[in-house]
Structure 1
Amino acid sequence: MMHSLQAVLLIVSLLAADTVAAPHIQKRSFVHHVKRSINRKDPAVGPNAMLKAYAKYGFSSVSRQTNSSAAAPAAGTSGGGIVAAAPEPNAAEYLSPVKIGGQTVTLDFDTGSSDLWVFSSALSKQTIGQHSAFDPAQSKSFEVMQGATWSISYGDGSGAAGTVGMDVVNIGGATATRQAVELATAVSQSFAKDTNNDGLVGLAFSQLNTIKPTKQTTFFDSVMPQLAMPVFSVDLKNDSTGTYQFGAIDMSKAQGPLTTIPVNAASGFWQVDSPTVTIGNQKVANQGGSPAIADTGTSLLLVDPQVANAYYAKVQGATNNAQVGGFTYPCNAQLPDFGVAMGPSYTAMIPGNAITFAQVDANTCFGGVQSNGGANLQIYGDVMFRTQYVVFDGKNKALMMAPKK
C-alpha cells in the first residue's frame, strides 16, 4: 500500500541554540531535484492505484473480474524550506529525499495520514532488497523511545509496524531536532515490492498518529512554530519534478489570488465540504454529497458514485469496466473538463486532457476520476493537485487554492 509523494525546495532561517546569542537570522535556500520515470502503458497501474486508495480508507473492495509518554515538541530551523517531489510511473506516488539522522531515504509525502515511518535495518536483507533502510546504530542523534510502538493496517491485509525513536529529520533544509521516527520491523509484501519508496511522511493532523501508548506530532506540527509562515504548499506536476515548500507561499506558481477554504479538522484530515461538481461548463449540485479529503497520498480522484456516473455519461464509449475494476474509455475519446467544489466558494477545475490516468491497452484508457463505491467520503488526490497550487495552513486549519499558471 503505497501512498503518494513529491520533493520540496525549502527556504529556511537558522536559529542559534538558546544558549548562544545570535546577532541575526541567516536565511538560506535548499533545492533538491529527483529524476522521474513515467510509464503510461502499464495496464495494472490504474486499477492498482484504485485498490490502494480503497484499502487505505477501508472502502469496500473494488470488484474486479479476472481471467485467471509524549516527547517534547521537536525544535528546528526557522524560516522555511523546499524539497523536490518526483513522480513515480504514472505519477502513482510522488517521492522526496528526507534525511533522518544524516541518512537519506526516499519517502512519500501523504496529507492523508500522520505517521513518519521508514524501512529500518531491523528488517531482513531480503525484505530490504533495493530499499534504503535507516540504521539507528549509524545515527549519533537517535534516541530510543522506550515502550513505544506503531502499526498501520489496511483493508486488503497490507500494513507495517515497528518501534519508535527520536532523531533529527531534515526535509529540504527544514529541520526537526527531536522528531518521532517510526522504524519498520515488519512490512507487508506490497510495501516491500515498491522499491522506490522507503516509507512515508504523514502530513495530516497529529491526532491520526498511530504511535502507542502516546501519539506523537507530525513533522509539520513539529517545525511549524519555527517556520516563517505556519504553512506548507504543494506544487505537483504531471511529467516533471514538483515541490513541497514549508514556511512560504510562492505566488508565482498561482494563477490569480488564493481562495481560503475552511477545513473540518475534527476528523484529523484536511477535510472540506464539496457540495457541487462541474462537468464541462455545467455546475450541478451533488445532492447528499460526501465531504472530501485533500490527499496527496492518493493518486486518483475518488468521487461519489452519482458524480462518476454523471461524468462518464458525457464520455463516448465510457464504461464501468468490471474486468479492469473502474471506468475506462477509448483513448481517443474527448473528455469534458471536470471540477469539484472545495468549500463554499472555490471549484478546482481539471481540464479534460488531464483526466486520463493510464492506458489499459493500446486503445483503452483508465480514468483518473473514479467512484468511491458509496463510501460517504470523497478523496481528492493527485489528479486534482496536478492542476492546482495548494497551501495547507496549519495555524488557521484551512486550505488556500488557486489554479496553477
Structure 2
Amino acid sequence: MPSYSTAALVALVGTSLASPVARHEFQKRDTYSFRQVQRGTYTKNGPAQVAKAYKKFGVSVPSVVNAAVSAAAAATTGSVEATPEDNMDSLYLCPVNVGGTELQLDFDTGSADLWVFSSQMTSSEQTGHAIYKPSSSATKKNGYSWDISYGDGSGAAGNVYADKVVVGGVTATSQAVEAATSVSSSFTSDTDNDGLLGLAFSSINTVSPQAQNTFFDTVADQLAKKLFAVTLKKGEAGTYDFGYIDQSKYTGEIAYIDVDSSEGYWGFTADGYAVGDGSVTGSSFSAIADTGTTLVYLPDEIVDAYYAKVDGASYDEQQAGYTFACSTDLPDFSLSLGGAKRTVPGNYINYAKVDGNNCYGGIQSSSSIGLSIVGDIFLKSQYVVFDKTQSTPRLGWAQQSSTSSSSSNGTASSQTKGSSSASAPAATSPTPTPSPASTGSGGGFGGSGIFPSGLPSGFPSFGGGSSGSSSSQGSGFSESQSSGSSSSSSGFSQEAANQAFNEALAAAQAGGF
C-alpha cells in the first residue's frame, strides 16, 4: 500500500482547492482509478521480459536467456506517434525519451541534428518547455559544438553529449544529443516544441569538429530492416515506423525510386506531374522529401500549370504566393514517381486562410529556394518508406489506405495540439537556407512562418498561447489564465476540484493516513 506524508497530502489538497470549498462537500470514496495513456508502440520482446523477471527477483540471468535477448534485439522494430502541432499541420511532434526525460520533437528528414532544449539555457528560454538534463550516464563530448540556422534567420547552438535516446521502444544507448545553450526567439515562443530530431543523412550533421550520426544511423543495424516509414495525416496523428513496413497503412504497391544522397538529403527525380484527372506531363525534375517542410515547392511551370486550373487563383505579391477563394474546389495534384502516379487530394492543398475570404495554396514556387521540396502537404497523403536496405538508398511511395475526413478549409480535427485559430501566412517569402534544408520547427520556413497563437477566451491552449500564459510541457498542455480571471474562464471546474480532493483523501485514508 502507498504511504502519504502530511506535507504531501497538504500540498495535494492545496493544489486541488483553487477556491474555498465547504468541508461537508468532502466525501470518502471507496474506489478510484487512473487512465493509462499509450505514448508509443514497439514490438514485444519475450526474452527481454524473462530476463527482467530474473533481475527483479535477484536471480542471475542464464546465458541462454541473455543470448535470446540479444537475438531478439537484433530484430528491433518500433513506432512513434506524430501529432500535428496546430490546426494547419504546420509541423508534427513525436514523444522522445532523451536521457530519461520525455521531450516533444519535430522529426525532420531535411536535416541531420538531434538538438534539444536543455538546462544550460537561460531560465527565460526554458519557460514552457520540457528540458534535457544530461543523465548520470551521459558523457560530455569535450571540444564539440554545434550551430544550426534556418532560412528565416532562426537557429540554435550549444554543446554535445552522448546519452540514451528512446523512440517508440527503439533505443540508442549512446546517441549524440546536441544540448542547446541558446536558441532563437521563434523556438522559445513555440512551447509545444522541445527540439528537433533530424533524419537526413549524417553527412550534413552540423557538429564540429566531427559530424555525428543521426538517430536512424545509430540504430539502423539493430533494426529488423534498415528503414523507417512515415505516415503523416491531415488533422490527426500519424506515425513514424522504424524497422518494418506496415501493409495496413497503404493500398496498392510501393513504388521505389533511387535516392541521390550526395547533398545529404533524401533526393529523388520525379518523372512528371498531373493536375486533376489530366494525364501525366512528362516533365522530370529533382526534389527532396522533407517532413520538416510544411508546403510543397516546385518549379514555376508546374506551379503555374496547377493554379491555371483553379478558378480565380492569382499570385499575391503581399503573400509571396498563390491565393484563391477559400470556397474554391481545388483539383487533385499528382506526381509520377517510379512510373507510378501518386496523388494528393485537392482539399489538402488549401493550406490556410489569408483573410476572411481568401486562402493560401499549399503548392508554391521553388525558384527562390534553389531546390524543389516535397513537404507535408503532399507527404500526408502518402505512405513513404525511407529505405537503406539496398546498396543505394531509395524512397518508396504508396497511397495511404485512408484519408482524413477533415474539411477543405484547412481546419483540423480536435486531435491537433496547437491553436484553434488560423493565421495568414507570413508576408515574406519562406526561403530556407539550402544547407541544411531543415525547415520544420521554430516558426521558419517549415511552417511558412506561421505559428498561430490566438485562442478564444477561456479556451485551453496547447502551446503557443498568449504572452504570459503558463505551460505544463509534461503533457504538452497549457491553460491560459489571465490574472484575476474566474476559475471557469481558465477551464477550472469546482466540481473537478471537489472530486480531485475526494480522491486524494480516499487514497490517503486507504494508505493509512
Query: Of 77, 83, 88, which residue of structure 2 is paired with 1:86?
Result: 83
3-state SS of paired residue (1:165): strand
Alignment-mate amino acid for residue 79 of structure 2: I
Query: Could you tell me how far apart the structure 2 residues matched to 1:20 and 1:200 are?
Result: 39
Paired residue total: 348
Kindly provide the CA deviation profile for residues 64-97 of structure 1, in whole angstroms up to 9, marking residues without a partner as x.
xxxxxxxxxxxx7741101111001111010011
Q: Does 1:10 align with 2:42?
A: yes
| Structure-to-structure mapping, 1:107-146, within 5 angstroms | 107-136=105-134, 139-146=135-142
Kindly provide the CA deviation profile for residues 190-217 of structure 1, in whole angstroms up to 9, marking residues without a partner as x.
1111111110000011101111111111
| Structure-to-structure mapping, 1:240-259, within 5 angstroms | 240-259=236-255
Change (3 A) 1:357 1:78: same
Q: Check conservation: 2:147, 2:156, Cα contact below 8 A.
A: yes
Instruction: Quote the residue 1:339 is aligned against.
Output: 334
Let me know the Cα RMSD of the aligned residues. Answer: 2.3
Q: Does 1:24 align with 2:68?
A: yes
Instruction: Quote the residue 1:323 is aligned against.
Output: 318
Change (3 A) 1:156 1:131: same
Change (3 A) 1:161 1:404: same
Query: Could you tell me how far apart the structure 1 residues matched to 2:290 and 2:326 are?
Result: 27
Q: Check conservation: 1:13, 1:80, Cα contact below 8 A.
A: no
Instruction: Quote the residue 1:198 is aligned against.
Output: 194
Q: Check conservation: 1:142, 1:167, Cα contact below 8 A.
A: yes
Alignment-mate amino acid for residue 232 of structure 1: F
Kindly provide the CA deviation profile for residues 129-164 of structure 1, in whole angstroms up to 9, marking residues without a partner as x.
10111111xx12111001000110134322111000
Query: Could you tell me how far apart the structure 2 residues matched to 1:146 and 1:14 are?
Result: 39
Instruction: Quote the residue 1:273 is aligned against.
Output: 269
Query: Of 147, 168, 179, which residue of structure 1 is paired with 2:175?
Result: 179
| Structure-to-structure mapping, 1:85-104, within 5 angstroms | 85-89=82-86, 90-104=88-102
3-state SS of paired residue (1:302): strand
Q: Check conservation: 2:40, 2:169, Cα contact below 8 A.
A: no
Q: Check conservation: 1:295, 1:380, Cα contact below 8 A.
A: yes
Q: Does 1:302 align with 2:297?
A: yes
Query: Of 152, 169, 172, which residue of structure 2 is paired with 1:156?
Result: 152
Change (3 A) 1:20 1:150: farther
Percent same amino acid among aligned pairs?
44
Shift of 1:26: 9.1
Instruction: Quote the residue 1:394 is aligned against.
Output: 388
Runs of 4+ residues over 6 Å off in structure 1 = 14-17
Query: Could you tell me how far apart the structure 2 residues matched to 1:394 and 1:105 are?
Result: 27
Q: Check conservation: 2:280, 2:336, Cα contact below 8 A.
A: no
Kindly provide the CA deviation profile for residues 273-309 of structure 1, in whole angstroms up to 9, marking residues without a partner as x.
023111112245465x541100000111111111111
Instruction: Quote the residue 2:234 is aligned against.
Output: 238
Instruction: Quote the residue 1:381 is aligned against.
Output: 375
| Structure-to-structure mapping, 1:38-57, within 5 angstroms | none
Instruction: Quote the residue 2:56 is aligned against.
Output: none
Q: Does 1:105 align with 2:103?
A: yes
Change (3 A) 1:12 1:176: farther
Shift of 1:386: 1.0
Question: What 5-or-longer segments of structure 2 have no aligned partner?
Answer: 1-38, 52-61, 402-513
Q: Which has the higher strand share?
A: 1
Instruction: Quote the residue 1:32 is aligned against.
Output: none
Instruction: Quote the residue 1:69 is aligned against.
Output: none
Alignment-mate amino acid for residue 112 of structure 1: G
Shift of 1:12: 6.1
Kindly provide the CA deviation profile for residues 344-386 of structure 1, in whole angstroms up to 9, marking residues without a partner as x.
4133211112211111222111111111135441100111111
3-state SS of paired residue (2:291): coil
Q: Does 1:208 align with 2:193?
A: no
Alignment-mate amino acid for residue 305 of structure 1: D
Q: Check conservation: 1:163, 1:182, Cα contact below 8 A.
A: yes
3-state SS of paired residue (2:221): helix
Instruction: Quote the residue 2:357 is aligned against.
Output: 363
3-state SS of paired residue (1:265): coil
Kindly provide the CA deviation profile for residues 162-208 of structure 1, in whole angstroms up to 9, marking residues without a partner as x.
00010000001100000000011011111111111110000011101
Q: Which moved more, 1:353-362 or 1:223-232?
A: 353-362
3-state SS of paired residue (1:329): strand
Query: Could you tell me how far apart the structure 1 residues matched to 2:301 and 2:368 are?
Result: 9
Query: Could you tell me how far apart the structure 2 residues matched to 1:173 and 1:296 are?
Result: 21
Question: What 5-or-longer segments of structure 1 have no aligned partner?
Answer: 1-6, 29-75
Change (3 A) 1:12 1:283: farther
Change (3 A) 1:14 1:302: farther
3-state SS of paired residue (1:91): coil
Shift of 1:260: 1.3
Query: Could you tell me how far apart the structure 2 residues matched to 1:398 and 1:227 are?
Result: 17
Q: Check conservation: 2:324, 2:358, Cα contact below 8 A.
A: yes
